[in-house]
Amino acid sequence: GAGVSQSPRYKVAKRGQDVALRCDPISGHVSLFWYQQALGQGPEFLTYFQNEAQLDKSGLPSDRFFAERPEGSVSTLKIQRTQQEDSAVYLCATLSEFWAPLHFGNGTRLTVT
């Protein structure tokens, strides 16, 4: 079946622009995670949803970052007033049951110029 789908694959934004990154989870996967991966580093946790409830947003770096999952399926990560330090790959991961493996998408590479 289809895996986790993220769009767009690449996004170039001018500093100060708002961006929205989309994650389509595997059907039926109730848990959804967002990670940020800077070049040469491991992914860093941003936020976690269980269905539509955002249970953990401790990793969001500033109030410019906002994530939502209104119907418990598709999720959007929004970054307002982008800065150069926001340039990274943003990864979405989902899982079906609590101890099931995480399934990652291939990410959105955001470049802020």
Partner 1 sequence: DAKTTQPNSMESNEEEPVHLPCNHSTISGTDYIHWYRQLPSQGPEYVIHGLTSNVNNRMASLAIAEDRKSSTLILHRATLRDAAVYYCILGNMEYGNKLVFGAGTILRVKS
Q: Is 105 in the site for partner 1 (CB under 8 A)?
A: yes
44 is a site residue for partner 1 (CB under 8 A)? yes
Q: Would you say how long the chain is, in residues?
A: 113
* Minimum CB distance to partner 1, residue 13 (Å): 20
1 contacts partner 1 (rule: CB under 8 A): no
Nearest to 21 by CA among 113, 96, 111: 111
Q: State how far the alpha carbon of 31 is from the alpha carbons of 21, 56, 76, 80, 89, in Å.
A: 18, 11, 14, 25, 20
Kindly tell me which residue out of 51, 62, 106, 111 binds partner 1, with binding defined by CB under 8 A.
106
By CB under 8 A, is residue 25 in contact with partner 1?
no
- Write out the two tokens for 76: 């959007």
Query: By rule CB under 8 A, what string of x and - marks binding of each residue 77-96 to partner 1?
Result: --------------x-x-x-
Q: Which is nearer to partner 1, 14 or 98 (CB)?
A: 98
The β-bridge relationship of strands 88-95 and 75-79 is unpaired
Q: What is d(CA 91, CA 109) in angstroms, rounded to the nearest whole number? A: 9
Residues within the interface to partner 1 (CB under 8 A): 4, 31, 33, 35, 41-45, 48, 50, 55-56, 91, 93, 95, 98-99, 101-107
